[in-house]
Amino acid sequence: MSDQHSRTFDAVVIGAGFAGLYALYKLRKMGLSVKVFEAGNGVGGTWYWNRYPGARCDVESMEYSYSFDPELEQEWIWPDKYSKQADILKYANHVAERFNLMKDIEFETRIKSAFYERESNTWRIKTAKGRKVVAQFCVMAVGNLSTPRVPDFKGIDNFKGDWYHSGLWPKEEVNFSGKRVGIIGTGSTAIQIIPQVAKKAKHLHIFQRTANYSLPARNGPLAEEKRAIHKKKYRELRKQAYSTPFGIAGYPPPEKGAFEATPKEREAKYHQKWDEGGTISYLFSYNDLLLSEKSNETASDFVRERIREIVKDPETAELLCPNDHPIGTKRICLDSGYYETFNRYNVALVDVRSAPIEEITPFGLRTAREEFELDSIIFATGFDAMTGAILEMNIRTSDGLDMKDKWKDGPKTYLGIMIAGFPNMFVITGPGSPGVKSQMILSIEQHTDWITGCIANMLVNGITRAEAELEAEAKWTEHVNEVANSTLYPQANSWYVGANIPGKPRIFMPYVGGVEAYKKICDEVVAKGYEGIQLAP
């Protein structure tokens, strides 16, 4: 198809998850013509794809929702303290319908390439089906955990049973009843799946390479009274959330360090937080848990003690005790009955650190030590996080730039939103922003408001091109690294540093200076006339 057949829009948004939906809403409200492309055949992003048993949000429902429309906020009823995937997906669909968003979304359409032509100042976007569209603005709403990764195990194609990746879960219910199931991975996802599948399977083998810290969710139905109180204070709470490190209201950051308390006080505090449930609450026991190894050790030890208390078999308990990273430097998992599951007769933990998986066989898998017969394998092996979805596309410019080259040593962005050399392209919650280290929907709204503010400013002032300056980008990227290096975060082999993808450059990708500091910086950039961004007529 020639370019004459391309359709032209003011803006193209890639992805119809929570970021894409809000970007569409905002851009359209500004009077722009917008087209959204979405690979799935429904809205919801993460919550569309991750339908695995037990899938649930680890941020409380009353927080994990849009704030842009007070009526929406008031009318929606979240049934549980922590929402299950199906409820969040229902909400995403409700939002799409309520704001008439569906008509501008093209589903089952993956974007293959995006090419910026400087002469015409347009993005030329091509779908996998070969359709072309042209737009002045290109908004990446592609998600941070949207490129599922199955390790390239030898023999996987010969497996005679069924296999699933958690992030590409079938829409139909998978029946594990009476089956010998193996699950590879013990991250947040696996920790949610394991208690559910253990109840159904004849036998469940859990192949663990690295033990993770998990805290009890203490999930349950949300009491009407609590919901009503929250709704009454919604405006205030949303505002409060922006003045916290993780963008979550209701948990005031602690003022004391762990060693400002006596051992007895610390024990009591950790107990109280453990009983209360939730990850923020626990991490907010003391203000130096992510800064001081010694302080962190007290919190890590407490969790290890609980594991030893819950898991009856001492050998299994020891294997489940994380010992290679401080608590919180990988995303803490939140569970409902995870450690208890290891007391079941039909569950076995297999250490694939000391004896790695060597091969998937036709009838199961073989580690360096043993062979296991399995009817089904679940890969809860994570994602090519934060950069995977962007680098999967072929993004180039007429100046000869290629995103793959630009990011070959790790992502470089300005504020996690713009990329020097790629004008009029905006990333929602990109690497270099607090996105994944925050309440995602709050960050999505903040970024999108910033992006649409930038575009509105351009339109009003007759500016057609916004481009991050190389120097500003380099300074920001350095700042992101500096902040990370002042914490314990880089100590963990997490997806924050790309450690789960062989060959991926080890760079700490999220901004961990906190939502409050980050928003302030973003607002200052605007106040200084979009400092660090070249605006051309």
Beta bridge partners of 394: 113
- How far is it, in rounded angstroms, from Cα 273 to Cα 112? 46
Judged by CB, which is closer to ligand NA7: 396, or 504?
504
Question: Under a CB-based contact definition with an 8 Å cutoff, are residues 442 and 245 in contact?
Answer: no
Residue 172: partners with Cβ closer than 8 Å, 6 or more residues away? none
Judged by CB, which is closer to ligand NA7: 421, or 431?
431
DSSP string, 491-519: GS--GGGTTTSTT------S--S-HHHHH
- How far is it, in rounded angstroms, from Cα 239 to Cα 180? 49
Judged by CB, which is closer to ligand NA7: 21, or 145?
145
Q: How far is the CB of 72 from ligand NA7 (least distance, A)?
A: 25
Q: How far is the CB of 357 from ligand NA7 (least distance, A)?
A: 5
- How far is it, in rounded angstroms, from Cα 144 to Cα 384? 8
Question: Under a CB-based contact definition with an 8 Å cutoff, are residues 138 and 425 in contact?
Answer: yes
DSSP string, 271-313: HHHHHH--HHHHHTTSTTTTT-HHHHHHHHHHHHHHHHHH-SS
Judged by CB, which is closer to ligand NA7: 50, or 109?
50
Judged by CB, which is closer to ligand NA7: 130, or 502?
502
**List of residues contacting ligand NA7 (CB under 6 A):** 145, 151, 166, 184-190, 207, 209-210, 331, 352, 357, 380-382, 495, 500
Judged by CB, which is closer to ligand NA7: 261, or 355?
355
Backbone angles phi, psi at 234, to 5 degrees: -55, -45
Radius of gyration of the chain (CA): 23
Residue 358 token pair: 């060597």
Q: How far is the CB of 207 from ligand NA7 (least distance, A)?
A: 6
Q: How far is the CB of 154 from ligand NA7 (least distance, A)?
A: 11
Judged by CB, which is closer to ligand NA7: 42, or 148?
148
Q: How far is the CB of 406 from ligand NA7 (least distance, A)?
A: 25
Q: How far is the CB of 51 from ligand NA7 (least distance, A)?
A: 13
Q: At CA 214, angle to CA 384 and CA 314, rounded to 5?
A: 120
Q: Which residue's beta carbon is nearest to the bound ligand NA7?
A: 187
Residue 243: exposed, middle, or buried by beta-carbon count in 10 A (0-12, 13-18, 19+)? Answer: middle
Judged by CB, which is closer to ligand NA7: 352, or 525?
352
Q: How far is the CB of 374 from ligand NA7 (least distance, A)?
A: 15
Residue 227 token pair: 């919901």
Q: How far is the CB of 331 from ligand NA7 (least distance, A)?
A: 4
For 337, which DSSP code? Answer: S
